[in-house]
Amino acid sequence: MEHVCVGDLLPVLGGEALGPDTRPDTPVNAVCFDSRQVRPGDFFLPLRGQRTDGHSYIQRAFDQGAAGAFTMETPKTLVPGRAYIRVPDTAQVPALLARWYRDRFAIPFVAVTGSVGKTTTKDMVAAVLSERFRTHKTPENHNNLLGISSSLLDLGEADQVSVVEMGMNHFGELDRIGALVRPSVCLITNIGDAHIENLGSREGILKAKCEVLAHMDPAAPVILNGDDELLGALPDRLDRPAIRCGVSPHNDYYVTDQDRDLVTEDLHCTIHTPRATFPVVIPALGDYMVYPVLMAAAVGEHFGMTPEEIARGILRYAPTKMRMNVIDRGQQVRILDDCYNANPQSMRAGLQTLAATQQEYKMAVLGDMLELGPMGPSLHTAVGQVAGECNINCLVAIGPLAKHMADAAGAFQVPEVYWFPTKEEALPTLAKLVRPNTAILVKASRGMSFEAVVSYLVSITPEREG
């Protein structure tokens, strides 16, 4: 935060200054929710969870240099030289503070939501906008109310536009986040099966995603995946400008001439927009990357960017960690680290990307997809069928639900299929399977913590020479 002091925050939060060392002019440079990440000068915000109470870590935060702390309790002893702000509920502080601080910035906010590809699209949009504007974006996948609130507090006076990834798994979440951010543009990447356990159906997911639109100006556009069955029909139900993006020429933004360079593995294509036609190079694996590129082009043109600026911005794209990150090892072993999260749509895209790699032996290490409710078994079966359709050589399925993947993959002619209840039990077999000239896709839901699998694969493969 910039130019904020204790006196500014007290009326916003309904807070009270405690002790003689809490002066109105005490600067508040940043608010940190994790005592382990406190930097000198930060204010620590203790949050209460089901198992721990952050108030227990106030002293640790002070030991790491925190200038002050919020609190719901009056401490028995006030640490000299430290500021204390007592508030009714520390859980309410992030959103209250972020809403107040966001109002200081008369800049456009670009919202990105959807079932699959939110982080990739956010990163691509930010890369394009950065070619002309000082661009702020939510880090990694900090896409819930707490993460977005924290991100908004990082806005600075030099920022000219903000790209905000918005996630949800229940009705009402995007309503609250939308009220906080109040976007100038909204992108919806697709409507899949993620969180269908909580939202009931894909139509329910669409309804939940559209909650954010109620907090936008009626003239503000929504940019949609026009190839998605539900989103493609959405403009007819909206009383606002809508822009469709996709592979099909019926979209407002579409691509032709797709061709992947066999040496660099970059994807070359031609973008067609209502204003121009121009070639671009996409520095990433996966043909699905055309969707975030087209959406980024639509955002860029909305803000007056030229085709040349958009094309240069696309070349600046770099993925967030564990989002189809390519790890090249020795002996032509390539690890596709896409283990941050998974749902049926992203599993299909991942397997198709694996199938397109140049390595001779193609192996998928796939884990459970969570929050699918009663549809879980059938949707895991469908992933196993896709593995067969993609002609991969080997599937290693891990987790109770992944057993359905393994059974289907065997039925659909995947030559080698293995199933293990846990990733720890799978590791010895992985060590035997990895060989020179192998591509390995690693993917599962966040709760499976498959980054441990990636780390193990890196540890058992040689360093890349040169």
Owner of token pair 């190839």: 227
- In this prediction, residue 188 carries a pLDDT of 95
- The CATH T-level fold of domain 6-88 is 3.40.1390
Q: Which two tokens stand for residue 326?
A: 């390519």
- Give the 3-state secondary structure of residue 139: coil
> Which are the contacts of 363, defined by CB distance < 8 A and separation ≥ 6?
392, 393, 394, 395, 396, 433, 434, 438, 439, 440, 441
Model confidence pLDDT, tens digit, residues 156-179: 999 999 999 998 878 889 999 999
For residue 26, what is the DSSP state?
-
- In this prediction, residue 186 carries a pLDDT of 97
Is a pLDDT exceeding 60 seen at residue 329?
yes
Looking at domain 105-315, its CATH architecture is: 3-Layer(aba) Sandwich (3.40)
Is a pLDDT exceeding 80 seen at residue 466?
no
- Among the listed ranges 298-312, 341-355, 448-462, which one has the minimum average pLDDT value? 341-355
Length reported for the chain: 466
Query: Domains of the chain: which residue ranges?
Result: 6-88, 105-315, 325-460
Looking at domain 325-460, its CATH architecture is: Alpha-Beta Complex (3.90)
The answer to whether 247 touches 255, Cβ cutoff 8 Å, is: yes
- In this prediction, residue 177 carries a pLDDT of 95
Alpha carbon 15 to its chain centroid, in Å, reads 33
- In this prediction, residue 109 carries a pLDDT of 98
* Beta partners for residue 272, in sequence order: 254, 277
Is a pLDDT exceeding 90 seen at residue 108?
yes
Considering only CA atoms, give the Rg of the chain.
24
- In this prediction, residue 194 carries a pLDDT of 61
Model confidence pLDDT, tens digit, residues 266-315: 999 999 999 999 999 999 888 889 999 999 999 999 999 999 999 999 99
- In this prediction, residue 196 carries a pLDDT of 64
Q: Regarding predicted confidence, which is higher, 336 or 52? A: 336
- In this prediction, residue 252 carries a pLDDT of 97
The answer to whether 444 touches 398, Cβ cutoff 8 Å, is: yes
- In this prediction, residue 324 carries a pLDDT of 82
- In this prediction, residue 52 carries a pLDDT of 87
Model confidence pLDDT, tens digit, residues 9-20: 999 999 999 999
Nearest CA among 183, 173, 179 for reference residue 96: 179
Alpha-carbon gap, residue 413 to 411, rounded angstroms: 6
- Among the listed ranges 34-48, 188-202, 359-373, which one has the minimum average pLDDT value? 188-202
- In this prediction, residue 115 carries a pLDDT of 85
Mean pLDDT of 347-354: 93
Model confidence pLDDT, tens digit, residues 184-206: 999 999 887 665 666 668 788 88
The answer to whether 337 touches 353, Cβ cutoff 8 Å, is: no
Mean pLDDT of 58-85: 94
The answer to whether 244 touches 224, Cβ cutoff 8 Å, is: yes
Alpha-carbon gap, residue 21 to 119, rounded angstroms: 42
The answer to whether 274 touches 84, Cβ cutoff 8 Å, is: no
Is a pLDDT exceeding 70 seen at residue 378?
yes
% of the chain with per-residue pLDDT over 70: 98
Element housing 439 (H / E): strand 438-443
* Share in percent of the chain as helix, strand, coil (round to 5): 40, 20, 40
The answer to whether 120 touches 317, Cβ cutoff 8 Å, is: no
Alpha-carbon gap, residue 378 to 56, rounded angstroms: 45
Mean pLDDT of 357-369: 95
Mean pLDDT of 386-391: 94
- In this prediction, residue 323 carries a pLDDT of 76
- In this prediction, residue 163 carries a pLDDT of 98
Q: Which two tokens stand for residue 59?
A: 């002293």
The answer to whether 101 touches 1, Cβ cutoff 8 Å, is: yes
Alpha carbon 224 to its chain centroid, in Å, reads 17
Identity of residue 433: L
Average per-residue pLDDT for the chain: 92
Alpha-carbon gap, residue 170 to 189, rounded angstroms: 18
Alpha-carbon gap, residue 47 to 251, rounded angstroms: 46
